[in-house]
Amino acid sequence: MPKKVAVIGAGHVGASCAMYLAERNIVDVVMVDIVEGVPQGKGLDLTQAAPVRGYDAVIEGTNDYAAIQGSALVIVTAGLPRKPGMTREDLLKSNAAIISEVGKNIKKYAPDAFVLVVSNPLDIMTYHMQKVTGFAHAKVFGQAGVLDSIRFRAFLAMELNISPNDIQTLVLGGHGDSMVPLLRFTTVNGVPISHFIKANRLSEIAARTRDGGGEIVRLLKTGSAYYAPAAASVQMAEAVLLGRRRVIPMSAHLTGQYGLNDLYIGVPCILGPGGVEDIIELDLLKEELDMLQASGKIYKDSLQFLGY
């Protein structure tokens, strides 16, 4: 039998995750949402696309959490979207209540699953999800570093008019204004990015990356990004489901690495069949480490609002 992935939340991000997963043809998908008819309708729509798109994955939509039983991985996209002028932290308490409900049902119906959190504010919601489920830290992780990194790669590719596939980069820290793009780890097929772009222009592109989600929110006016977040999530899902052991920047639980303890934040990890199999501790410059620790302090302070 094929593996099953549950997607909690059938909004734009959740439905895009379901579509990308189906097109990989490696798992069946069940979408769960509290709004009656929405997951069923989107599941049926994706099922009808299968003959043209060339997949035969089973895609189910439901309002019943019991349907996630047997899932190898649960991708959590449920939550309120950001609106113009709203920071990720503005969403904190409202989405924490939603994550509490989702986490309880994952623990009840899919106690052996890995959990990939996409809901914002990402790093805090991932921490909260682990506390609610009680799962091992290696089995609960957040998608942010991949998204921030591919946004940076896309902006650099636009600047240079080259393929984004030739650009590699690394973005650490929180998913938001405190993210830390590591410019000295950014290359174009191994050539340092500084060979192509001057430092002041690089700083401008890094600033645009920090505001990458906010820029899309302002353009859409209602709602937020979904194609890129879903694509990033499915890349992480494949690393676990196919045992690829990818080196991926992601929100993982730190226990002293980078001078940070007991919080989730974006760091490079080896993600594979065991979940977060290793946290890679880079030898950062003092300025880079200071930025990462400042990012961590923001989330430590925010966790106090949730009673942690």
Q: What is the CATH number of the domain that holds 47?
A: 3.40.50.720
137, 175, 195, 253: the catalytic one is 175
Q: How many CB atoms lie within 10 A of CB 73?
A: 23
Tokens of 139: 């089995």
CA 35 to chain centre: 23
Q: Is-catalytic flag, 12?
A: no
Task: Give the separation between CA 104 and CA 201, rounded to whole angstroms.
Answer: 46
69 in the same domain as 138: yes
Looking at the structure, tell me whether residues 115 and 157 fall in a common domain. no
124/225 same-domain check: no
For residue 58, what are its two tokens? 């089973």
**Whether residue 86 sits in one domain with residue 60:** yes
Q: Check: CB of residue 138 under 8 Å from CB of residue 254.
A: no
Residues 60, 161: one domain?
Answer: no
* 268-272-274-276 Cα dihedral, nearest 10 degrees: 10
- Please say which residue of 121, 142, 163 terminates a domain: 142
What CATH number has the domain bearing residue 176?
A: 3.90.110.10
Q: Are residues 149 and 293 in the same domain?
A: yes
| pLDDT (tens digit per residue) in 264-297 | 999 999 999 999 999 999 999 999 999 899 989 8
Q: What average pLDDT does this structure show over 118-129?
A: 94
Instruction: Give yes or no for residue 1 having a pLDDT over 60.
Output: no
Tell me the pTM: 0.95
Model pLDDT, residue 83: 66
Give the mean pLDDT of the chain: 93
Whether 176 shows a pLDDT value over 90: the answer reads no
Single-letter amino acid code for the residue at 112: D
The domain in which residue 161 lies consists of 145-306
> Which region among 52-66, 124-138, 171-185 has the lowest average model confidence (pLDDT)?
171-185
Render pLDDT for 236-273 as a digit per residue (tens, 0 to 9).
999 999 999 999 999 999 999 999 999 999 999 999 99
The torsion angles phi and psi of 138, rounded to 5 degrees, stand at -65, -20
At 12 the three-state DSSP class reads: helix
Where would I find the beta strands (DSSP E) of 208-303?
A: 246-255, 261-272, 275-279
